[in-house]
Amino acid sequence: MVKLELREMDAGRVAVLRIENPPVNSVGSAVRVSLDEQLKAALSDASVKAVVLTGTARFFSGGADIREFNTPKAAVRPSLRELIAQIEAAEKPIVAAINGTALGGGLELTLGCHGRVADPTAKLGLPEVKLGVLPGAGGTQRLPRLIGLDAALEIIVGGEPVTAQQALEYGLVDDVDNDPVAKAIELALTIAQGVRAPRRVDHDPMDMPASAAAFDSARKNAERRYRGCIAPLEAIACVEKTLTTKLEEGLEFERDRFQYLVNGDQSKAQRHIFFAERKAAKLPSDEPADVKIRRVGVVGAGTMGGGIAMSLANAGLSVVLMEQSDAALERGWGTIVRNYETSQRRGRFTAEEVEERLARIQRSVDYADFADADLVIEAAFEDMAVKKEIFSRLDAVCRPDAILASNTSRLDIDEIAGVTSRPERVLGMHFFSPANVMRLLEVVKGAQTSNAVLAAVFGLATRIGKVPVLVGVCDGFVGNRMVSHYTREAYFLLEEGATPAQIDGALRRFGMAMGPLQMQDMAGLDISWAARKRQAPTRPAHLRYSKVADRICEMGRFGQKTGSGFYRYEPGSREPIPDPEVHALIEQCAAEAGIVRRDISDEEIVERTIFALVNEAAKIVQDGIAQRPSDIDVVYVAGYGFPMFRGGPMFYADTVGLEHVLNTIQRFHKEHGEFWTPAPLLEELVRSGRRFSDL
């Protein structure tokens, strides 16, 4: 909890209070009670001249204990706000020694102190908006008063931590030192001796010209970055209060807005995703990795292969990027170079950082260059014969302990593994496009993939900043198996009376990053057309099939890359423009299928598409293709643009009520037939009064 240690210095005795609450020193009810006791002990001991507050290991504090939100423990006194008020009002100087990461309530604790010293490795931030809340222990009021509006808005609304050096430049900390506790003691004693004044936050309204432009631009950024999320906008409103109110009144306002957010569905959904991501990263077996991945081969320098190579190089791995011909290799390389140049222009990397990254990628047209790779990821054309040919060649040249992975988005990993002599070292690594940006990685476990291999790949995934989710073998794994039901309903709705813009608009208003038809246009319609042609011979003849997408492809409209698809595009623009030609084609398909078109509501669009996802997801959980429902939420939020503030399809279904979901699915089943056969797991949950989150 909180330990008190007395240090005898020449200038007097100092109490060092150390928060010890592994793993991240979160400040929950027990820590608050303990800190209160130790603080009172230190402040009432006449021999103590000053107090230093610090943490342990890598953490000062990871913030309030999120697990206690919405539980009785959150109401245990003193509250964090009361503790900070006590620190701020103390007669003796209290200085924070920020030994490591200080986030959320952890950083807010330091804002009540009379000085702050950070370790050079420390990270300081207020990430609350990412959890659907706002800094609720004074952060929105004290930070602007300490470092000014612009910097405070950036930290509070951006949610990203700053380094110790940046914090020093902002005036957030007074000093950066390799021994922050010693430096904090020194600073506290100079304040106690009156040599230096304590840095107390001014309680009056901020004396700044009201900068409407700063708030407008913060709101615009927030709306773009966190579309549909209310927390960032509430946080901005709190910061705005600093201009017109005294600290106490601002704190009350902040407390009220925090309570509103913490009790709302959005914050519950965002916290669910926070924990779901961490759960997804845990494998069922704790067998350790049996190979350390340092050098990775990538087969194919197309969009996926290039993006994969970049994410590996960004994380410091050595990469061999291979193509069949020099021409294809140079084309892929050119794209990588251009992507890095864009990142450099946008200030993400310096010229040196770009050079370092490019230098990590060795170009090759020879399989022999994979001889020393620890892992090879195949990102070639999506065709079983092509994959088999590549894997047998890889098996021949790679070390016996090397791991062989396919980036296939739907093909059978076991069939691919079958052409190698090492099926236990073969698996799927399904990246999402653009692979250097998207966080999701579906890790596909084949029938024989070993636990040690999974551990190695999960370790690598975390190193390269991906969110790995373990999935089993089936057509489309988790994400694409579900998405085919989602797009199927979108196509049916087109025939029944909706326009592409209406479907995409309804789903964007629901919160999806992009509507399904816009997404198809972006991904390229020819890819799914090829898959449909492959599946045509085995497609059950009695089931409804929409020809809309096929007919659009037959017109040579493959989406953005050909300037037209479900929409048309002006040259060089990605802005979808509704196209009467497509509307006429949809009407023609509907007439041929004998469908009488009708008015379709936004509500029906959302329920038909989103509940199709939920129903299939329930079958996926039942089939054991996903380990748990929350993994599906991670797949959809991190890989498919599902709104974070709805917590993913399973959490959303729990929120609207599984009974409502099942009733609606049963109604669709009656109206639209077999596709809507309710998942037995969903029926079972409703019967037993449980939710997906109970599994």
Residue 104 found at the interface with ligand 3HC (CB under 6 A): yes
Q: How buried is 683 (Cβ within 10 angstroms: 0-12 exposed, 13-18 middle, 19+ buried)?
A: middle
Q: Are 553 and 543 in contact (CB under 8 A)?
A: no
Residue 677 DSSP one-character state = P
494 contacts 586 by C-beta, under 8 angstroms: yes
The identity of residue 286, as a single letter, is: D
| 659 is annotated as an active-site residue | no
Q: Which is nearer to ligand 3HC, 25 or 314 (CB)?
A: 25
SS3 label, residue 132: coil
118 pairs with which residues across the strands? Answer: 98, 176
Q: Is 539 in the site for ligand 3HC (CB under 6 A)?
A: no
Q: Give 194's contacts (C-beta < 8 A, 6+ positions apart).
A: none
The DSSP 8-state label assigned to residue 13 in this structure reads E
Report 138-197 residues binding ligand 3HC (CB under 6 A).
Answer: 139
- Interface with ligand 3HC includes 112 (CB under 6 A)? no
582 binds ligand 3HC (CB under 6 A): no
Q: Which of 24, 162, 461, 464 binds ligand 3HC (CB under 6 A)?
A: 24
Residue 156: HSE in the Cβ half-sphere, 13 Å Cα cutoff:
35
Task: Select from 26, 99, 409, 436 the one that contacts ligand 3HC (CB under 6 A).
Answer: 26
Stretch that binds ligand 3HC, among 125-133, 347-355, 414-422, 474-482 (CB under 6 A): 125-133
**Interface residue with ligand 3HC, options 55, 100, 115, 135 (CB under 6 A):** 135
* Interaction residues for ligand 3HC, span 27-46 (CB under 6 A): none
Query: How big is the site for ligand 3HC, counted in residues (CB under 6 A)?
Result: 24
412 binds ligand 3HC (CB under 6 A): no
Q: Which stretch binds ligand 3HC (CB under 6 A): 135-143, 315-323, 381-389, 675-683?
A: 135-143
Contacts of 220 (CB under 8 A, 6+ apart): none
Catalytic residue among 5, 20, 91, 128: 128
Provide the phi-psi class of 647: left if phi over 0, else alpha when psi is between -120 and 50, else beta. Answer: left
* Residues 49-78 close enough to bind ligand 3HC by CB under 6 A: 62-67
Of the ranges 29-37, 104-112, 410-418, 628-636, which one interacts with ligand 3HC (CB under 6 A)?
A: 104-112
Work out the number of other CB atoms within 10 angstroms of the CB of residue 503: 26
CA distance 102 to 125: 7
Per-residue b or e along 452-489, where b marks 16 or more CB atoms closer than 10 Å to that residue's CB: bbbbbbbbbbeebebbbbbbbbbebbbbbbbbbbbbbb
> Between residues 26 and 564, which has the closer beta carbon with respect to ligand 3HC?
26
Verify binding: residue 267, ligand 3HC, rule CB under 6 A: no
115 binds ligand 3HC (CB under 6 A): no
Catalytic residue status for 128:
yes
Q: Is 631 in the site for ligand 3HC (CB under 6 A)?
A: no
Closest to ligand 3HC by CB, 66 vs 586, is 66
Short-list 82, 62, 67, CA closest to 124: 62
129-137, 509-517, 560-568, 674-682 -> range binding ligand 3HC (CB under 6 A):
129-137
Interface residues toward ligand 3HC, by CB under 6 A: 23-24, 26, 62-67, 80, 101, 103-105, 108, 127-128, 131, 135-137, 139, 275, 278
What positions carry a catalytic annotation?
A: 108, 128
